[in-house]
Every structure is written in structure tokens, then in C-alpha cells.
A and B are shown apart, each in its own frame.
Chain A
Amino acid sequence: MRSLRLFAALLAAAVSFTAAPARADLKVVTSLPDLAAVAKAVGGDKVEVVALALPTQDPHFVDAKPNLALALNRADLLITAGLDLEIGWLPSLQLGARNNKILTGNDGYLDASRFVSLQEVPTTAVDRSQGDVHPGGNPHYLYDPRQGIAVARGIEARMSQLDAKNAATYKANLAKFTQEVQAAQQGWEKRLTGLKGAPVIAYHRTTAYLQNWLGFTTVAFLEPKPGIPPNPSHIAQVLAQGKARKVKVVVKEDYYPDGTAKLVASKIPAPLIVIPGGTDFRNGQTYVQRIELLVSRLEQGLAGKAE
């Protein structure tokens, strides 16, 4: 009898959980926290945004946990970075979510890379002997605030299409976001003029858009090929190149291991800059704050105050 009552109580709790009224007009799920931050900036209080990956996770390798499918099941809009970045985990979630809206090709599916002027699009045939190449182009575009604005524009268009009655709000939010980013952008560029033309070493091919924005050159990568972990002979070569080219900084995301990067940085010598892999969206960080953190890390590194 007791256990029956407990069961009833549990059921009641479950029902009251699910029956909670939906407040947001649009339920948005994004693969990456960076996209979530941009989507939140555009959607404001009209949308509820969930990011599937954490900023501390390598976006190539996320576990397709079933609870993520649950978020997708209830979503009106799925925004992905595209370019095969999430191909290792997102498709199984999309199919498992039983939500036709967010399947590839439908209105509730938005590939944000469509709005980006792409870098590093292979012009020749690619195969896996080149490592983990992205045949559609480099997917790490949200490091560049100009691309962030382009993506926000695309998100606004789709949100207005799906939720026409709030279109004015989305437009206003977009204008505010654009203005905010553009205002900050000038300051960021001024602070990082020192990077212009500077030779840089990066861990993975994540710097394509950053270098396009800030004007530095990535002369070498610690990975011999994208996705292949560093090996001694390659590192020796990178080190030699770094010394020869007088590399100014070594850059890596916080989700990559730091031993090799530290060693290379200390041998060149150049400061090692650990850049955040993504927006800490869960704790309320905005896209502007995220780029601000990225810029200040780079700035500190340039000033020789890197960790």
C-alpha cells in the first residue's frame, strides 16, 4: 500500500513537471554554446535556448546522450554549426528525437554555416588520409564577430519565419546585437593590432576565421593532420619552424591537452594562449562577453602575461 502511494506521488510529480506551462514562444536547441549565445541574443525572452555541447567539450566528440534527444524532441528549431562538425553525434540524436520539424532540410533545421563566408574550403578532392578534414570548409567560424553577426542575421530570418508574431522583436534584438558587436569590434581590433602579420602556431585548425579577422598567419599546427594527435617528429618540425619564423604566440583551445603546447611555447619561446573553446552559455555568458574574453586572453598573451 505504502509503495503504491509512493508510486502515485511520483507519477503526480512527473505529470506536474511535464505539464508546466510553456512560456517561451520558440524552443531552440543549438549544437554549440556559441550558437546558443547568438540565438539567445536574437530571440531574447521570446525563446528558450538549450545548447547540447558544453564549451569545455571538443565539439567534434560529443556523446549522443539520450537526454539530449529529449531536448530535441521538444524543440521548434535546431541550429547547427554544420560543415560536418557535429556529424559524429548529432544525426543519431536528430533521428532519435522523433521530431520531424528539426530533421535536416525542414524549416526547424538551420545550418548556420550557410550565412558565413567560408574559409579553407578544399578545392581539391579530399579523403581521410588528410586527417579529419571538413569537405565543406572550416567550421570554427564563430571566433570571428563579423561571422557572428552574419549568423545572427540568418537566425533572425528563420525565427521570424517560424514565429511571425514576434518578428518585430527579433528584428529589434538583431539590430541591438549587431550594434553591440560592431561597437565592441573596433575596440577589440585596436587592442589586437599587435597581432597583425604575426606568425602564430595553433593546436588544431581552429584559427582560420580568427586570422582572417585579426590578420595574423598561422604558420604551423601542433596536430600533424587535423584530428591526428601530435607526434614527436612533427613537433620537432613545428618547433624548428616556430624558431625560424619567430612565432609570436602559441594558441590552443581549453579542451585540448596542454603539455605539448606548453613545451613548444617555452622552447620557441613564445607565450601560450589558452582560448576558451566556447561561450559559457549555461552560466549566462553572452556572445560579446565570450569574444571579449577571447580578445583579452590574446591581448594578455601578446603583452607577455600568458599563463
Chain B
Amino acid sequence: MSFLPRRNPRALAVVLAVQLSTSAAWAQSSPGQTPPAATETPPPPAEAAPADTPSDAPALSAEEMAEIEKALGSDASTRARPSGDTSPVSPTATNDSGVTPLRLPNAITGGTSFLNLSFILDLAVAAFSSKEPLQGGAHDPTQNGFNLQQLELSIGSVVDPYFRFDSNIVFSQFGVEIEEAYVTTLDLPANLQVRAGQFLTRFGRLNSTHPHAWDFVDQPFVMSRVFGAEGNRGLGVEGSWLTPLPWYVEVIGSATDAKGEATARSFFGSSNERVLSPLDFQLTGAVKQFFPLSDDLSLLWGLSAATGPNPTGYRNHTSVYGTDVYLKFRPITEASAQQLVLQAEVLYRRRQAPEDLLSDWGGYAQTVWRFSNRWATGVRYEFGTPAKTQEGRVANDPLDPEWIADRQRITAAVTFWPTEFSRLRLQAATDRVGWRATPDYSAFLALEVVTGAHGAHAF
């Protein structure tokens, strides 16, 4: 902790460096990392040396089998497994595809792969008690029966020594959408990093992540209510700074397009407003701090704010404030697969409306316990209040006119990971919607697979 970064002043020349893009190859492939080319001759892999000889295996008695089962059962809870979430741009960001390269055939790449490719498929079978379930997320299961939540294609690569490119393209059953496509700088001085393009803003913890990093099958309703079905994102630019403090403090600021019914609904939303001044962008700021309380216990704490114009009148603005906490207990000083994670986010929204100021609260708290190497269980509680006027009366909400009472939802889930590349989830929820006569119930069985080489998991 006692040293300060020594910086290459040349880094300032980043802007001029585009010409150097021909050297992109060097940024990505180090000699030692080049994967060995698959040869045409197929002698058995060296790893196959301990040949299996099941034929000479004497049969085991039933008691012995029972003993084996028992020993395996006790081991299941002590074996380390990775966490499912992912993040690339910053260890706190959790916003990428989180999956690494599907190696392209040699014929295409000439032995070196320049593009990292991966596919993520999310499928679910769902059952709802309500005819019109209130599932706000664009990747939530929404109808009885089979649901294609998404097929996500992540493509990422180092562009040259100065830039990295990442994109997430989502295929739904009847369309394609560029969810994210952005460039990240690699060589800015003073611990700065800039992202430009279309990206999910780093408001809070969950917003910047994709469904495969979520512990539950669907999105907390506060996200779709405040930001929209896809979460808060837009075309824009983001700068972040890793402060030189002795503990991890990251400061983030971004300016993004304030339009989009599914991505910025509390701001311009679907209305077709023109950008006339910088105040017509959505401005987002966040501070993330990390505290390694011990080897086993860590705390990540974030404060976020976003402000942007809304279409209810000239210079009317919406502001959203949020805080998020992520507390993780994972013993690493001894063999163990157990993990206990506590995660919570609260959002407070204020909207200027003609002759009024509407405010509401929403949030969720969840805890996930990974009790063995392949199994986890979790519970989530969500709440949302109706928008209130300045006098404290329930307001006539221009975005969600039906939202005239509190809504709460409780969800429980069990997850099984065959490997870190696939998971099966069973989830049930009860939705206590204040403006509906009876509570809604739902159940999902969801399957997720990730193909592509191994991805980097975020904290």
C-alpha cells in the first residue's frame, strides 16, 4: 500500500494513437499465452495417461457404495466454487458478458484469436396465477409456458494498445438489439478510464449487470419501474477514476442519452425531445468503496445519483438517488465451498411535474447462501411505494397511473450449477400488489448455459 503509481507520460498521447492500431495484435497476444494450435493428427491427449480400466474393476458391495455416497455428500459443502457473477471493466462493475473467448477455428484466425466470443442462453418455463403478471424486466419470463429470456452474444477484444472493445448483442425471438457496444481506454494517466458508446450506467450494483450475473431469474421491479425494462443505459460517455486512497474508492461519472422507454423512462423516456443543452442528457455519478474486512468477509458499498430531464414541462427534471450494499462471506483460509452474500439496494426518485414534485421509494434486499459446491438458495424482498405529491398525498403518476398503493414481492430460489457454465434455477414468488384484489403467485424453472471460453468473474 505504500507506493504510488508511476505513470508513463506518453499515455497522454492516446488521442493521437489511433494510427498505431496496426499493432493491435501485440496488445492481445503474449508469446506465452498463445494457445497451442490443435493439430490434425489426433494421438490421445497426454492427460489420458491414467487409462481407465473398468473391465478389471472388481464390483463393490452395496455398503461400500453407500459409504462413497456419504463421503461425497460431506465433500460437497467444502469444495470451492466460483461465484456466478462477472465483471470486466472494473472489479466492481460486474457488467460484461463475463465469459471469455470461444476460440475461432484456425482457418479464420490464423492461430491467434482476436475476438472473444461467447453465447449465453436463458430459457424458462413459467406459471403465473395472474392473467397479467407484473413482470417489468425485458428479460423476465412473462407468460405461462416456455419463455426465451434472451440469447446474448458477447464480443470483446483489445483493439490496440489504447482501447478495448466490448459488446453485448441480444437476440430475442423476433429481433436483435445492441444492448451494449462500447470502447474502454487502456492507457489513460492518473488512474482514469473512459468508456464511450452504448453502455449500461453504473448506477447501483445490479443495473450494470446482465441477467446471467443475477442471482434470481427476474429483475427487481424497482429497476424496471425507475429506469425501464432494459435497465438504465444509453449512448454516451463515462469517466471513472480510481482514487489514490489506501482503500478502494472508485468515482464514476457519465453523460448518456436521456431517451428510451425501456432504458430511461423516468427521464425523456419515449418522448422525442431534442437535445438542446448539456442539461438534456442524463448525468450519472457514483462512488464505489470496497472494504476487505477480513480474508473471508468483504463489503462493497456504493452511492449513486442520476439526474436528467423529463418531458412533463420545460426544464423539468428527474433525480434518482441510490445506495447499494454487498456483503460477502466466503471462507478462503480453509477448504470450504460455503458462501453467504447479502445484497441490498434502495432507490429514491424525485420527479418535477407541472406544479408538483413527485417522490417515491423502491428497493430490494436479498441474501443468497451457497451451501455446497453446486447448490445455493436465496430469498429476496422487494418494495415500492406509490409516488407522493409534496403534500404527501398519493400522486397521479404520469408513468404508472395504476401504482396507487404499496407493492411488495417476496421471492425464493434454489440454484444448481452442474458446472460454472450452466445453472438450473427453481424460483417462486408472491407479489403483493396493493392495487390488486388478491396477491399474485408465480413459479419459474430456468436454465442458463454459457458457451465460450472461461470468463472472468467479478466481485
Residue B74 interfacial (CB < 8 Å): yes
* Set A21, A70, A239: member contacting B64, Cβ < 8 A: A239
**Is A218 a contact partner of B42 (Cβ separation < 8 A)?**
no
**Is A244 a contact partner of B91 (Cβ separation < 8 A)?**
no
Known: A88-B457, A217-B50. A64 touches B68 (CB 8 A): no
Task: Name which residue of chain B comes closest to A236, CB basis.
Answer: B60
**Is B45 a contact partner of A66 (Cβ separation < 8 A)?**
no
| C-alpha spacing A132/B188, complex, angstroms | 36
Bits for B371-402, please: 1 = Cβ < 8 Å to A, else 0.
Answer: 00110000000000000000000000000000
Chain A hits for B75, CB < 8 A: 229-230, 257-260
Which of A32-40, A121-129, A165-173, A292-300 participates in binding chain B?
Answer: A121-129
**Is A260 a contact partner of B91 (Cβ separation < 8 A)?**
no
Residue B100 interfacial (CB < 8 Å): yes
Task: Name which residue of chain A comes closest to B26, CB basis.
Answer: A105
| C-alpha spacing A253/B26, complex, angstroms | 37
Residue A104 interfacial (CB < 8 Å): yes
Greatest chain A CB density within 10 A among B90, B192, B330 is at B90
* Set A98, A121, A243: member contacting B193, Cβ < 8 A: A98
Which of B81-89, B168-176, B262-270, B438-446 participates in binding chain A?
Answer: B81-89
| C-alpha spacing A231/B75, complex, angstroms | 11
**Is B36 a contact partner of A232 (Cβ separation < 8 A)?**
no
Residue A221 interfacial (CB < 8 Å): yes
Greatest chain B CB density within 10 A among A22, A56, A138 is at A56
Which of B3-11, B142-150, B355-363 participates in binding chain A?
Answer: B3-11
Chain B hits for A64, CB < 8 A: 87, 91, 456-459
**Is A95 a contact partner of B184 (Cβ separation < 8 A)?**
yes
Q: Give the shortest distance, in Å, between B426 (CB) and chain A (any CB).
A: 21
**Is B28 a contact partner of A111 (Cβ separation < 8 A)?**
no
**Size category, B interface:** 35 or more
* Set B43, B54, B333: member contacting A123, Cβ < 8 A: B43
**Is B31 a contact partner of A66 (Cβ separation < 8 A)?**
no
Residue A93 interfacial (CB < 8 Å): yes
| C-alpha spacing A14/B353, complex, angstroms | 43
Interface SS of chain A: loop
Bits for A217-241, please: 1 = Cβ < 8 Å to B, else 0.
Answer: 1111100000111111001110111
**Is A89 a contact partner of B53 (Cβ separation < 8 A)?**
no
Residue A263 interfacial (CB < 8 Å): yes
| C-alpha spacing A205/B45, complex, angstroms | 13
Known: A135-B35, A227-B419, A230-B75. A87 touches B68 (CB 8 A): no
* Set A67, A243, A255: member contacting B248, Cβ < 8 A: A67
Residue A120 interfacial (CB < 8 Å): yes
Which of B198-206, B292-300, B305-313 participates in binding chain A?
Answer: B292-300
**Is B454 a contact partner of A87 (Cβ separation < 8 A)?**
yes
Residue B57 interfacial (CB < 8 Å): yes
Chain B hits for A231, CB < 8 A: 72
**Is B373 a contact partner of A105 (Cβ separation < 8 A)?**
no
Task: Name which residue of chain B comes closest to A58, CB basis.
Answer: B80
Q: Give the shortest distance, in Å, between B248 (CB) and chain A (any CB).
A: 4
Of residues 58 through 94 on chain A, the ones whose CB sits less than 8 Å from some CB of chain B are 58, 60-70, 73-74, 76, 82, 84, 87-93
Q: Give the shortest distance, in Å, between A76 (CB) and chain B (any CB).
A: 7
Known: A111-B32, A255-B80. A87 touches B45 (CB 8 A): no
**Is A257 a contact partner of B245 (Cβ separation < 8 A)?**
no
* Set B26, B45, B64: member contacting A236, Cβ < 8 A: B64
Bits for B1-41, please: 1 = Cβ < 8 Å to A, else 0.
Answer: 11111101001000000000000001111111101101101
* Set B56, B100, B298: member contacting A244, Cβ < 8 A: B56
**Is A236 a contact partner of B35 (Cβ separation < 8 A)?**
no
Chain A hits for B419, CB < 8 A: 128, 131-132, 227-228
Greatest chain B CB density within 10 A among A27, A100, A125 is at A100
**Is B58 a contact partner of A57 (Cβ separation < 8 A)?**
no
Known: A54-B333, A66-B459, A122-B47. A96 touches B90 (CB 8 A): yes
**Is B8 a contact partner of A263 (Cβ separation < 8 A)?**
no
**Is A241 a contact partner of B87 (Cβ separation < 8 A)?**
no
Residue A117 interfacial (CB < 8 Å): no
| C-alpha spacing A228/B76, complex, angstroms | 11
Closest 6 CB pairs of A and B: A240-B57, A111-B32, A257-B75, A114-B32, A22-B3, A257-B78
Known contacts A66-B248, A66-B288, A92-B456; can you find 19 more A-B pairs with CB under 8 A? A17-B1, A18-B246, A20-B2, A54-B333, A88-B454, A92-B88, A95-B164, A96-B91, A98-B188, A122-B47, A228-B419, A229-B374, A236-B64, A236-B68, A237-B57, A258-B78, A259-B71, A260-B68, A263-B68
Interface residues of A (CB under 8 A from B): 14, 17-18, 20-24, 27, 48, 54, 56-58, 60-70, 73-74, 76, 82, 84, 87-93, 95-101, 103-106, 109, 111, 113-114, 119-126, 128, 131-133, 135-138, 205, 217-221, 227-232, 235-237, 239-241, 243-244, 254-260, 262-263, 267
